[in-house]
Amino acid sequence: MEIRVNCLASRILPPVVLAYCVLTTTTCRAEDENASTVAYPLSVQGPKPEPISPPSESDVQYALERGIDFLLQDQMKIGAWGSARRTKRLNIYAPVPGSHHAFRTAVTSLVLMALVESREQFDGAKRTEIETAIDRGQAWLLEHGDDLRRADADAIYNVWGHSFAIQAIVRLHARAEDNEDLRSQLVELLKYQVDRLHRYQTIDGGWAYYGNDELHTRRPSGSTFSFVTATALIALDEAKTLGAELPEKRIQQAIDSILRQRYPDFAYAYGEYLKLMPRYGINRPAGSLGRSQACNLALRLYGDEFVTDEVLKTWLNRLFARNGWLSIGRKYPVPHESHFGVAGYFYYYGHFYAGLTIEQLPPEERPYFQDHLAHILLPLQEKDGSWWDYPLYNYHQQYGTAMAVCALLRCQQPLAPAAVE
């Protein structure tokens, strides 16, 4: 028999309350004990989705083909994806030109990820078309990827570009296995993106896309956002495979910033400035549906023992069962105007990281979650083959489609081995 108490609780709780916590969290140790069920029992409690009829393999493949066709047709002459040419009366704050450099770099990187990851599923003329599109996109990224800076003191959208560029570069590097010169160029660009994340890491440890221009600090001084920090950390984990990484102290600061925003049920505050408001709509589980997948994944990759398989499965189930809270906000033109402060652009972001999260589970446990994820995404594909969730100039169809394609690729299940007669 062992008694385990969260060390933070021992410092802040009154003795009587602490004694109660000890008594109610006593557990018998087993070799496969789930640590989160002891310290954070709410993290493994949640709704489960209704049974579904799983989409067929051919349905998923057809949706992927249509999504890839949209991305191929939408590539610009310069090789990139996304522009500021489609506007509406209401647009988000985006100082020019830096904000749009960030959006285009991020979107182009996401599309390159989708194309590189899907290319081996095609052959013939379609495979050639995909490889040509990747080459053109790669050339644009190599030429313009190191132009990326923050737009001004309080608009730091460039962190999205740095993060997604890292993930695209890692995949392009693997693709260029027979071209050492190209690989060297990609590694140099990767180092640039990592260095910029180092420079734009906020004073309180994480990353954000808004700063505070009143303090005039060298490093951004605004509040960090849990999910932006998670995005950067996940990318940096991939960058390590090519020898580019931040100092351990900086990584730990980023991890700590997410932990400060984590609630006992593993919902995450939108940002540090809201962390003391746990019942504020956007911080509650329904408001965190689009963030918890990325935050859980980031902490899992960096060794958080409390982000167990059971936690990942609980939050994937919650995403599927409570998908309506995210879906209601999909395509709303005003950010955060939906229930629980949901913004439309949470939608495919959350499902993109859900796909990555499923890969953390044992292979035999993945099909159930893959089926549910595909079941959600397939009906949302537009007539032109795209997916989109928020009208953002001319970037939304591109990032939405790229994220949906990457998620659906992770919904494909290996064929069962043929029976031996």
In this prediction, residues 130-157 reach a mean pLDDT of 96
Give the DSSP per-residue string, 357-416.
Answer: HHTTS-GGGHHHHHHHHHHHHGGG--TTS---SS--TBTHHHHHHHHHHHHHHTT--PPP
- The per-residue pLDDT for 416 is 52
Instruction: Judge contact between 146 and 161, C-beta under 8 A.
Output: no
The tokens for 24 are 């109610």
Write the pLDDT tens digit of every residue in 236-290.
999 999 999 999 999 999 999 999 999 999 999 999 999 999 999 999 999 999 9
**Backbone angles phi and psi of 262, in degrees to 5:** -90, 130
Write the pLDDT tens digit of every residue in 307-328.
999 999 999 999 999 999 999 9
Instruction: Judge contact between 170 and 113, C-beta under 8 A.
Output: no
Average pLDDT, the chain: 91
Domain 56-409: CATH architecture, name and number where available = Alpha/alpha barrel (1.50)
Cα gap 91→99, rounded to integer Å? 12
pTM: 0.91
Write the pLDDT tens digit of every residue in 9-62.
433 344 444 333 433 333 333 334 467 767 899 999 999 999 999 999 999 999
How many helices, marked H, and strands, marked E, lie in the chain? 16, 0
Domain spans of the chain? 56-409
Cα gap 360→130, rounded to integer Å? 28
- The per-residue pLDDT for 350 is 98
**Backbone angles phi and psi of 326, in degrees to 5:** -75, -40
User: What separation in angstroms does the CA of 416 have from each of 260, 364, 413, 419?
Assistant: 43, 12, 9, 9
In this prediction, residues 394-419 reach a mean pLDDT of 88
Strand partners, 333: none
Instruction: Judge contact between 112 and 168, C-beta under 8 A.
Output: yes
What is the band of 225 on the pLDDT scale with cuts at 50, 70, 90? Answer: very high
